[in-house]
Each structure stands twice: as structure tokens, then as C-alpha cells.
């Protein structure tokens, strides 16, 4: 069985990518809204210590998960030609490695308790280790759905699994007083439902295969991908591990809630686009000019969405924390504001990382990741006297350094100059600053008038939405406006034809031609 997606013509590939974005965006928006409600409910039913223990257990579980999959899921997506033997090899290795590392985690869980100085985390790690088997069982099916761009099917499966696992089992167990085990039950149920639904959609071959010639190309790419993912995981968890050892589970619970409050919805939204970008970028990996154009457009378009949200949330931090978590979490406001800046940068770097994966530039990405980790360690040591705030400042500065690293990497891989990248960041900075200023003005007026929390929060939301829409239409951001108009044409959003017509009238001739539909051979859009 050989997949044909890689040979799709430009127009068909573009349409498939846009269709994928539609469904992944719908799924991630739905999941984000559910996650917001789930977080608000669970924060009131559970203590910070419960979240802290699960956060620590998650560090340990992810430690095993990177080696349990060996990057096979990415290798399936990136490989130019895929056969049934490749699929059997990937599934065999996923199940075998998941079983091995699940068993190791069961035995070594007490070591995690000693490392984190939290013995209560041991049984949590041991139970969550079962989830590796569930994840290994679904990895091949999920990868095949992504490779073939069956994002509608994948979206339905993921939302269904989230609803049953988190909104159903998780909230139900927390209401009945199961404490930290309600968070564990939610994760395991979600993983089990996803495994069943995705396999039912693909029905891929599951017969074991043991042939090194089949494994060789998958292992070469997947092995490097796994090592890099593990290094990225360690780098991403340095802040949490430091907090746990220095200040305990309660402090980690405060930090992780501040992180997840902005991080989960933003990351979920952005990663949904990246999930479409990887198969799309991989299918044009040998056409560097086309790939370069898609990369730059991705920065422009995603920056116009993510940056205003992050900067606006930072300004409205007191109300966001009060509404979502409650008064007892107000100490997280300064940390939350800094984390908003982290995500404004990291989600833009996501596309450079995806280009590195699609072009198999893994050795360079590996050294970049190690350099980032070293910078973070130095920053944490320097800023340790500032406590949690110092950790957040270190992560923000480290992300700035990582941005510089990826800019240099893209110069090597795609021949993209730093000036070209900075120009793509321009619309994001303008829109983000405008939205933040509008929210700050409304917040100052409403807080000064001693208005109720609900009124202030609603006013901030409306101010941010109106400011973003107004700035998008009124500022002379021609490239961004042209890109939005083109995307609207692909998406065929009902009721927004007037907006596309307005963009068409206000664009110079070349951009107007694109908006009018002269894009049959345009690059993949993500």
C-alpha cells in the first residue's frame, strides 16, 4: 500500500491543507473552550497540590513516552513513499517499546519520587504508566490520519475523547472526592477512547514485522526525531523541575496553573495548524522556494492571531485569573503575564521547528536545542533569588534566545534573511500593541468605576475583539490583508463575502489578482 498524498498537485494539496486547518481549528477551538470550563471547575474542586503531583508525574511519563515511540509517528508522516510494511514496522515498534517503557516506569517510579522529593508522586506515576500502552496503540493510526490529511476524522475522534475523558470521567471523579485520581482517570480515559476511535477509522495492518531493512529509514529519521523531542522535553521541563526541588508541589501547582491558563488554549490552537503544516511542508520539502513562501506566510498569519491574544491576556491578567481560577490564585498574576510573552514567541518559532522536521534538518535542530537548554540553566541560576517570577523571566529570555537561534537556522535551510523574518513579525507587533492598549484603557476605566468583575472582564473581551478587527481593516498591512482575503476565499466562510470584497478593493493590483482567484498553482497554505 503506497500513499498518494505526496504526489498531489499544488492546487489539490493547498485545498487539502486548508480543509485540514478548518477541521483542526474547529476541533481545537472546541477543545479549548471545553478545557477552559474544565480548568475552572477543577480549580475549585481540587487543591494546588493535586495539580502539582500530576504535573510532576507528567514529567516522568513524558520522559518514557519519547523513547517509547522513537519518533515513528513523525517518520510515517515525513517519509516520501510509505508502504504497508512501513506501517507494520511502525506499529510493531510502538507497541513493543510502549510495553517496555511502561514496565520500566512501574519499577522506577520510586526514583522519580526521590528526584522530585515528592514520595506522593510514586503511585500516580505507576498508574499513568499504563497510558503509554494506550498511546502506543494509537500512534500509528493518528499518524496515518495526519499523513493522509483526514483531519475531519481526527478532529471528531479527539473532541469525543476529550469530552468523555475530561468533562465526563475527570469532573465526575473530582465531584465524588477522588482528588488527584480524578486527573489521572481523565487522562487514561481520553487516551483509551482516542485509541479505539482512530484505529476504527484507519484499520491499518497490525501484523508484527521484524525486518531491519524496513526499519532502517524509519529509525534513522525517527531516532533523531526522538532524541530531539526528548531534549526539547527536558528543556521545556527545566523550570518545573527547578520549582519542585526548590519550593515544593504547592509552588509548582501555582506555576503550572498560570502556565496552562494561557498555554493550553494557545498551544492547542497553534499546534493544530502545525499538525497540518508538517505533512504539507513534507510534501514540498524539495521545493525550497515554495517552502520558504509558505513558512513566511505562516508567520504573518499566525502572528496576527496569537500575539494580540497573548498581549491582551497579559493586560487583563487580574480579571483572567479571578474568573478562571478564583481569588486564591491571584499570586500567579505576575507569572501569568510573563508566560503570555513566552507563548507569543514560542508559537512563532513553531513553524521554523516544523520546517526543520520536514526537511530532515535534525542534526542542526539538535544542537540548537542543546544551546537553548544551556541558556535556560544559566538564566535560572542567575535569577533564582527572584523565586517563581525569576523562573518565568528566565523562560521568557530563553525563548528570545531560541528565536534568534531559529532565525539563523532558517537562513541556512531556506535562505531566509533576518530582515525578511522581522518584516513578517511587524503586523503581529502592531496588532498586539493596539489590542493591549485598547484593553488597558477599558480596564482602567471600568476598574476605576468599581464595576463588577463580570462587567470588567466582558468589557476587556469586547475591547480586544473590536480593536483587533478594526486594526486589521484600517492599518496598511497589505500582505496580511491579502493573506486573510485569500484564506477567506479558500474557506468560503458564509456571511464574510463583504470582507473579502473590501480587501479586494483596497489591495494593489498584484495582490488583488491573487484575491480574485488567480491562485491555481499557489504554494501550500497553512
For 202, what's the count of Cα atoms within 13 Å in the CB-facing half-sphere? 31
Q: How many domains does the chain have?
A: 2
336 with 428, same domain: the answer is: yes
**Predicted local confidence at residue 288, as pLDDT:** 80
268 within domain boundaries? no
70 within domain boundaries? yes
**Predicted local confidence at residue 17, as pLDDT:** 57
Residue written as grid cell 493510526 = 141
463 within domain boundaries? no
444 with 305, same domain: the answer is: yes
Count of CB atoms situated within 10 Å of the CB of 207:
9
Q: Is 471 exposed, middle or buried (0-12, 13-18, 19+ CB in 10 A)?
A: buried
DSSP string, 238-279: HHHHHHHHHHHHHHHHHHHHHHHHHHHHHHHHHHHHHHHHHH
**Predicted local confidence at residue 515, as pLDDT:** 37
423 within domain boundaries? yes
Sign of CA dihedral 313, 318, 319, 321: positive
164 with 291, same domain: the answer is: no
478 within domain boundaries? no
121 within domain boundaries? yes
261 within domain boundaries? no
- Rounded to whole angstroms, the Cα distance separating 478 from 511 reads 8
**Where among 422, 453, 484 does a domain terminate?**
453
- Rounded to whole angstroms, the Cα distance separating 79 from 150 reads 17
- Rounded to whole angstroms, the Cα distance separating 399 from 403 reads 6
Q: Which domain holds residue 51?
A: 1-9+17-250
Tens digit of pLDDT per residue, the chain (526 long)?
Answer: 444 444 444 445 555 555 566 666 677 677 777 877 887 888 888 877 888 888 888 877 877 776 666 556 666 776 667 778 878 877 887 788 888 888 888 888 888 777 777 788 888 888 888 888 888 888 888 888 887 778 788 888 988 998 998 888 988 998 988 888 999 899 899 889 998 999 888 888 888 777 767 766 666 666 667 777 777 777 877 888 777 777 766 777 778 778 878 877 676 666 666 666 666 676 666 778 888 888 888 888 888 888 999 999 999 999 988 888 878 788 888 888 999 999 888 877 888 888 888 787 888 888 998 899 999 989 988 988 888 888 889 999 999 999 999 999 999 888 888 898 888 888 888 899 999 999 999 999 998 888 998 899 999 999 999 998 888 877 766 666 666 655 555 555 555 555 555 555 555 444 333 334 433 333 333 3
229 with 307, same domain: the answer is: no
Helical (H) or strand (E) element with 199? helix 180-202
**Where among 453, 471, 498 does a domain terminate?**
453
User: Strand locations in 255-378, DSSP E?
Assistant: none
**Predicted local confidence at residue 38, as pLDDT:** 82
222 with 288, same domain: the answer is: no
Sign of CA dihedral 78, 486, 270, 264: negative
Sign of CA dihedral 68, 365, 56, 134: negative
pTM: 0.65
390 with 346, same domain: the answer is: yes
**Cβ–Cβ < 8 Å for 480, 304:** yes
- Per-residue DSSP letter, 507: S
Q: Is 366 exposed, middle or buried (0-12, 13-18, 19+ CB in 10 A)?
A: middle
212 with 334, same domain: the answer is: no
28 with 115, same domain: the answer is: yes
**Predicted local confidence at residue 445, as pLDDT:** 92
**Predicted local confidence at residue 442, as pLDDT:** 93
297 with 162, same domain: the answer is: no
468 within domain boundaries? no
Q: Is 498 exposed, middle or buried (0-12, 13-18, 19+ CB in 10 A)?
A: exposed
**Where among 250, 268, 295 does a domain terminate?**
250
198 with 347, same domain: the answer is: no
DSSP string, 16-27: HHHHHHHHHHHH
3-state secondary structure 414-480: HCCCHHHHHHHHHHHHHHHHHHHHHHHHHHHHHHHCCCCHHHHHHHHHHHHHHHHHHHHHHCCCHHH
**Predicted local confidence at residue 517, as pLDDT:** 41
Count of CB atoms situated within 10 Å of the CB of 423:
14
312 with 173, same domain: the answer is: no
288 with 246, same domain: the answer is: no
Amino acid at each position: 500500500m503506497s500513499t498518494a498524498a505526496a504526489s498531489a498537485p499544488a492546487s489539490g494539496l493547498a485545498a487539502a491543507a486548508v480543509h485540514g486547518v478548518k477541521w483542526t481549528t474547529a476541533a481545537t477551538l472546541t477543545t479549548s473552550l471545553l478545557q477552559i470550563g474544565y480548568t475552572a471547575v477543577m480549580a475549585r474542586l481540587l487543591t494546588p497540590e493535586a495539580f502539582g503531583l500530576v504535573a510532576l508525574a507528567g514529567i516522568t511519563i513524558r520522559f518514557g513516552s519519547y523513547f517509547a515511540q522513537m519518533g515513528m509517528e513523525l517518520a510515517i508522516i515525513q517519509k516520501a513513499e510509505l508502504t504497508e510494511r512501513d506501517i507494520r514496522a511502525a506499529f510493531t515498534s510502538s507497541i513493543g517499546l510502549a510495553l517496555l517503557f511502561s514496565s520500566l516506569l512501574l519499577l522506577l517510579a520510586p526514583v522519580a519520587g526521590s528526584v522530585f522529593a515528592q514520595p506522593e508522586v510514586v503511585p500516580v506515576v505507576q498508574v499513568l504508566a499504563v497510558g503509554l500502552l494506550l498511546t502506543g496503540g494509537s500512534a500509528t493510526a493518528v499518524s496515518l490520519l495526519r499523513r493522509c490529511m483526514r483531519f475531519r476524522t481526527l478532529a471528531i475522534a479527539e473532541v469525543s475523547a476529550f469530552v468523555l475523558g475530561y468533562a465526563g470521567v475527570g469532573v465526575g471523579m473530582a465531584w465524588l472526592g477522588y482528588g488527584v485520581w480524578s486527573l489521572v482517570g481523565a487522562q487514561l480515559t481520553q487516551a483509551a477512547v482516542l485509541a479505539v476511535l482512530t484505529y476504527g477509522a484507519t484499520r491499518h495492518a497490525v501484523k508484527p514485522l521484524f525486518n531491519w531493512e524496513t526499519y532502517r529509514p524509519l529509525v534513522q529519521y525517527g531516532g533523531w526525531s526522538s532524541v530531539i523531542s526528548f531534549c526539547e522535553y527536558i528543556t521545556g521541563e527545566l523550570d518545573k523541575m527547578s520549582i519542585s526541588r526548590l519550593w515544593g508541589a504547592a509552588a509548582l501547582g501555582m506555576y503550572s496553573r498560570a502556565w496552562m491558563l494561557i498555554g493550553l488554549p494557545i498551544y492547542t490552537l497553534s499546534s493544530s495548524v502545525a499538525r497540518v503544516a508538517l505533512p504539507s511542508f513534507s510534501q514540498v520539502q524539495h521545493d525550497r522556494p515554495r517552502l520558504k513562501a509558505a513558512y513566511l506566510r505562516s508567520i504573518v498569519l499566525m502572528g496576527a492571531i496569537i500575539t494580540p491574544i497573548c498581549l491582551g491576556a497579559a493586560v487583563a491578567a487580574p480579571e483572567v485569573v479571578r474568573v478562571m481560577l478564583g481569588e486564591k490564585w491571584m499570586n500567579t498574576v505576575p507569572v501569568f503575564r510573563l508566560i503570555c510573552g513566552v507563548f507569543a514567541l514560542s508559537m512563532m518559532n513553531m513553524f521554523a521547528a516544523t520546517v526543520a522536521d520536514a526537511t530532515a534538518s535534525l542534526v542542526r535542530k539538535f544542537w540548537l536545542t542543546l544551546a537553548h537548554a544551556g541558556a535556560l540553566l544559566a538564566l535560572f541560576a542567575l535569577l533564582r533569588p527572584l523565586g517563581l517570577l525569576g523562573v518565568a523571566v528566565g523562560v521568557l529570555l530563553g525563548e528570545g534566545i531560541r528565536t534568534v537561534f531559529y532565525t539563523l537556522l532558517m537562513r541556512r535551510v531556506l535562505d531566509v534573511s533576518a530582515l525578511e523574518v522581522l518584516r513578517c513579525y511587524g503586523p503581529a507587533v502592531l496588532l498586539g500593541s493596539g489590542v493591549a492598549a485598547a484593553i488597558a484603557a477599558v480596564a482602567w476605566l471600568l476598574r476605576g468605576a468599581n464595576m463588577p468583575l463580570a462587567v470588567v472582564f466582558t468589557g476587556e473581551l469586547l475591547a480586544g475583539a473590536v480593536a483587533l478587527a478594526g486594526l486589521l481593516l484600517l492599518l496598511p498591512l497589505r500582505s496580511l490583508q491579502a493573506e486573510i482575503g485569500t484564506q477567506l476565499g479558500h474557506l468560503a466562510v458564509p456571511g464574510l463575502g463583504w470582507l473579502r470584497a473590501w480587501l479586494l478593493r483596497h489591495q494593489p493590483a498584484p495582490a488583488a489578482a491573487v484575491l480574485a482567484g488567480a491562485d491555481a498553482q499557489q504554494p501550500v497554505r497553512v
